[in-house]
Amino acid sequence: MESDTPPAGARRESASKRVWQLAWPTIISNLLFTLVGFMHIKIAAGLGTSAVAAVTTGHRVFFLVQAILMGLSVAATAMVARYWGAGEVARAEMASWTALLLSLLIAGLLTVPVLVVPESIAGLFGLDPHTTTLAARFIFWLGMFNVFAAANMMLATALRATGDVTTPLYFLIVSSSLNIAFGYALAFGLGPLPEMGVAGVALGGGAAGSLVTLGFLAFWWQGNFALKPVKRLSIDWSGVRQLMRIATPAVTEQAVVQVAFLAFFAIIADYGTTAYAAYGIGISLVAFPIVIGFGFGVATATLVGQQLGAGRPDRAMTTGWRSLRMALIAMISLSLLMAWYAEQLATFMINDPEVIALTVAFIYVICLTMPMMACDFALAGALRGAGDTRFPLMATLTGILLGRLLPAWLCTTLGLSVYWIFGVMLLDYSMKAVLLVYRYRSRKWLDLRFEQHPGPTL
Read off the pLDDT of residues 44-67 as tens digits, 9 standing for 90 and up. 888 888 888 888 888 878 877 787
3-state secondary structure 45-93: HCCCHHHHHHHHHHHHHHHHHHHHHHHHHHHHHHHHHHHHHCCCHHHHH
How far apart (Å, rounded) are the C-alpha atoms in residues 80 and 25? 19
Whole-number Cα distances in Å, 352 to 115, 281, 359: 33, 12, 11
CA 117 distance to own-chain centroid: 25
| pLDDT at res. 234 | 67
**Single-letter code of the amino acid located at 50:** S
| pLDDT at res. 328 | 93
Low-confidence ranges of the chain (pLDDT < 70): 1-16, 234-236, 448-458
How far apart (Å, rounded) are the C-alpha atoms in residues 153 and 170? 14
| pLDDT at res. 456 | 39
Domain ranges of the chain: 11-447
CB 212 within 8 A of CB 175: yes
CA-CA-CA-CA dihedral for 361, 365, 368, 374, to nearest 10: -120
pTM for this predicted structure: 0.71
